[in-house]
Structure 1
């Protein structure tokens, strides 16, 4: 901590450090929580106790319900103790609520993407406007995720992302449809988007329309899910063991154990050993499946 903030050595123990620690203690924070919060964000000790510390902790506790929950957030992002939350976090929450977003959904963002709600209210309104223009309905449970994804990119990077989808062969309508169905797809790297698309189309069983209808397939791990499952299905198809390939919805969302039960276990002689080598099925990586083929 001293290495990152050597100025703390010159700080007054009585006037600067102890008052901050006492505020944490008075609000019910454990000694371990206090130590971890300060260790992760020592700069917070340089902030005003009355003008920053108390207001910030009060706002967070009113939103999250307890000091234990506040501690979870501050361990993730000490930035909350350096920003005027009434002008950022509170204002953004109120604005998103006015857009029809469920409060519980908004609060979850504090834990999962702590900096998302710390944008300026002006920027947040711009993000929402862009999502509206993309056609995502405000009543959709995916609306806030769409806003978050947009907030993670500069205008230039957003345009580059749209251009890349276009270069992959997707029409403007396709792009808008995919964004509405699965906003996180727009956070996937261009290299991965291209790789997944090529793997899926190379099977001859899927085309661009399949991807548009279920873009979550673009988020899946290439090495741990897409490739192993395509290999298995390809072998089963060549041996006429399956009449129809599963939809991309099944490919991307079927739990690993269920995929195993449906497409691997009944055909261990054909694909058992191969699948164990190439897949990353949780709980089965160390299992020994011998192929008698």
Structure 2
């Protein structure tokens, strides 16, 4: 009884004869009934949403979101052509829906000038259809990037660093935003500088995968972190050198000074602090609360003092509840 009543109310509000009224889907009815802004002459996104639902079997929430963003699209054929091309290029239904969900405007782009060139260039580099779909869906804003000044140079630089197409694909699947950066001004100078400091190539490649944003920091910032380590007397030939740079990059100088003061309050001498930092720089990124709790636990429960932590600094990174208490 409710649905005929709703149809009657909508028909009356639009001043249309039931005999000439176009059938309304349940999705259109529900949205029109509860929308206070709908007027007889206003252009509603509902017909396009219905089109996405009926022709492409989009979930209602994605269909409505897309239709609400595509207010300049005059005919659904433009959207249909883009969706058809993506399907032909290896995009699954789930790929397409996720891309539209993340960037509804994608269906208003030029198929010939914007969509096709981006899909084609990844294929030209040897990426499989599924790889291309995975990458572009993770970051559909790649469709807005220039092929010549951003996508091609970025992929080329990454291949020169990682050494294989497979590794480039692996990286872009997890960090597709690499394409958004000018790698000639960020990644490449940073790598060249770190290599001049003695950092091994294998360690740099590992960091590209595990800490990708670190190597995209401003080049001058990387130089400043190295200078601070030099001032602290940190050995550039140490395997912990790159770890130390990243640790400094993860906190402000004020936070670093607070950590040093905390260790002093806990009974660490300056030599103790520097020895701990040289062995395990990453533990200085542990929260102050955790450092205090672990130090107190080791001292009160097991009579283990500062010397034990200096000899075994990684203990500050262990879980107190899951590892230290059961272990001791």
TM-score bracket relative to the smaller structure: 0.7 to 0.9
- How far the C-alpha of 1:170 sits from its partner, in A, is 2.0
Per the alignment, residue 187 of structure 1 pairs with 285
Aligned to 1:223: 321
Counterpart selection for 1:34 from 132, 146, 149: 132
Deviations 1:263-282 (A, max 9, x none): xxxxxxxxxxxxxxxxxxxx
2:123 is the counterpart of 1:25: yes
2:162 is aligned to 64
Q: Which moved more, 1:160-169 or 1:64-73?
A: 160-169
Displacement, 1:136?
Answer: 1.7
User: What secondary structure does 2:127 align onto?
Assistant: coil
* Alpha-carbon distance between aligned partners in 2 of 1:192 and 1:28, rounded to the nearest angstrom: 47
d(CA) in 1 for partners of 2:190, 2:322: 38
Unaligned 5+ segments in structure 1 are 231-293
Q: What is the Cα deviation at residue 194 of structure 1?
A: 1.2
In the alignment, what sits opposite 1:257? none
Aligned match of 2:294: 196
1:113 Cα deviation after fit: 0.3
Structure 1 residues 162, 13: closer, same or farther in 2, change over 3 A? farther
- In the TM superposition, what is the alpha-carbon distance from 1:46 to its structure 2 partner? 0.8
Q: Which has the larger radius of gyration?
A: 2
- Which residue does 1:246 correspond to in 2? none
> Structure 1 residue 27: deviation in Å?
1.0
SS in 1 for 2:117: helix
List per-residue Cα deviations over 1:134-193 (Å, max 9, x = no partner): 322000111011111111122232223223323333222222111101011011111211
Tell me the alpha carbon deviations over residues 94-124 of structure 1, each in whole angstroms, 9 at most, x when there is no partner: 0001111111111110011001100111001
Give the distance between the partners of 1:71 and 1:161, measured in 2 at CA.
39
Partners of 2:115 and 2:283 lie apart in 1 by 45
Answer yes or no: is 1:93 the counterpart of 2:191.
yes
> Which piece of structure 1 moves more, 96-105 or 36-45?
36-45
User: What residue in structure 2 maps to residue 122 of structure 1?
Assistant: 220
Cα separation, 1, equivalents of 2:254 and 2:106: 39
Q: Partner residue of 1:158?
A: 256
Q: Give the Cα separation in 1 of the matches to 2:312 and 2:142.
A: 44
**C-alpha separation in 1, matches of 2:298 and 2:278:** 21
SS in 1 for 2:150: helix
CA shift for structure 1 position 50: 0.4
Paired with 1:163 and 1:42, the residues of 2 have a C-alpha distance of 46
Aligned pairs for 1:219-258 (under 5 A) are 219-230=317-328
Of 182, 204, 209 in structure 2, the residue corresponding to residue 84 of structure 1 is 182
**Count of aligned pairs between the two proteins:** 230
Rounded to whole Å, the distance in 2 between the matches of 1:4 and 1:167 is: 49
In 2: Cα distance, 1:149 partner to 1:45 partner: 34
Residues 45, 123 of structure 1: alpha-carbon distance in 2 compared, 3 angstrom cutoff:
same
Following TM superposition, by how much is the alpha carbon of 1:5 offset from its aligned partner in structure 2, in angstroms? 2.4
Greater RCO, CA 8 A, separation 6+: 1
Q: CA deviation at 1:203?
A: 2.5
Instruction: Mark the runs of 5 or more structure 2 residues left unpaired by the alignment.
Output: 1-98
Listed one character per residue, the Cα deviations across residues 224-255 of structure 1 (whole Å, up to 9, x for unaligned) are 2111011xxxxxxxxxxxxxxxxxxxxxxxxx
Instruction: Report the Cα offset of residue 20 of structure 1.
Output: 1.1
CA contact (8 A) 1:135 1:180 kept: no
- Cα RMSD over matched residues? 1.4
What TM-score do the two structures reach when normalised by structure 2?
0.67
- Partners of 1:166 and 1:45 in 2: CA distance: 52
For residues 148 and 265 of structure 2, the distance between their equivalents in structure 1, rounded to whole angstroms, comes to 54
